[in-house]
Amino acid sequence: MLILILQFIFFIPLEISAEEPYVLMVSFDGFRYDYMDWVDTPNFDYFEKRGVKADGLIPVFPSLTFPNHYSIATGSYVATHNISGNSFYDKSLKQKYSLYNSNTVQDPRFYKAEPIWVTAEKQGIRSASFFWVGTEAPIKGVSPSIFKYYNGNIPFETRIDSVITWFRLEKDKRPQLILLYFSEPDKTGHEYGVEGERIIETIRKMDNLLGNLHEKLKTLEIYSQLNIIITSDHGMTDVNSDRLIILDDYMSRVEDIYINGNGSHVQLDHKKGGFDYADKLFQELNRIPHTLVWKKSEIPKRFNFVNENTGDYLLLADEGWFISTKSTLKEEELSLRGMHGYDPQLINMHGIFYAMGPNINSGLQIKSFENIHIIL
């Protein structure tokens, strides 16, 4: 029996069928909760009418790609699973983790919670992944039966064809759980923002992609046993150079502080010997407009963010504002037009959730829920 089951309210009891269920979970990176309201999306609508749709999917903090994909996979917050950003400094390992560094992405020491594919494989259930965060690392010594090392140049249709091939394998080699990742509409949102024809065009393309995926899935022998989950990791909001916060303009001793991250939020740590600057630094951080700042011990519990790697301070920008330093920005204007990573309570950070299949209720609209509850 497949151990990956959504919250019970979504599902029809498995006992009604003697056939083993299959699960395909698909992530459209950066697909905001309301994009479907902007353009016709007949293929997403098909899933809505025949399955479950949530008003939105609430990300964990920070509302970034790597933390949220790993939260979806583990059912845990950043405080537990350790992947606190797309890049972060691990103080116990004394090493920086970065999505751009394959050595760290593939290092199991960074991943502190057990993802669903490890649980499945340990129970004899085969899994496969086309680019899900964490699947490149042998976590607890276990990898998916089939997985790919990330290469963003691989066309989306090629990824779909691979999934179809995997579902057509002989039963003893066939995965029951497959994870599939697409980097859009996140890429378009970052480059062009959430206004205008560019994002509309990409939403249409993703709807067509979903339609192509579904048509190919329907040709499978196991289609009648297949439960399909469509999700995203976070939403998106507009940013521009008029809402740019340069920390050098507010901090008198930037050289005495480690600044980790940029964009929606940064973490700050005192360098050795720099604690005489602590009181003044906190005062300076509190004066930065369009931000909130907390000492580590005072970070809101609802963020579920604090672990051994957390900085001495967390500085969080208001929605649409972008934090950086002169050395990091390296140019006078901000090139990005869209950003995320902000407070998960902000509705523009919310993603999507659809589910359809033989073990899933039909025509059910539910309220927004946190993405850690997808997998029990």
Q: How many CB atoms lie within 10 A of CB 376?
A: 12
Cα 57 to Cα 267: distance, rounded to the nearest angstrom: 26
- Find, among 226, 300, 307, 319, the residue nearest to 24 by Cα: 226
- CB distance 21 to 182 below 8 Å: no
Encoded tokens for 147:
């997985």
Query: Catalytic residue among 41, 65, 291, 310, which?
Result: 65
Q: Is the dihedral of CA 352, 353, 357, 361 positive or negative?
A: negative
Phi, psi of 188 (to 5 degrees): -65, -40
Give the chain's length: 376
Query: Among the residues of the chain, which ranges form H helices?
Result: 42-50, 65-74, 78-81, 102-105, 116-122, 156-167, 186-192, 197-217, 278-286, 326-329
Contact (Cβ atoms closer than 8 angstroms) between residue 350 and residue 35? no
Gap between the Cα atoms of 181 and 100, Å rounded? 17
Backbone angles phi, psi at 197, to 5 degrees: -70, -25
Catalytic status, residue 41: no
Among residues 248, 268, 252, the alpha carbon closest in space to that of 316 is found at: 268
Write out the catalytic residue numbers.
65
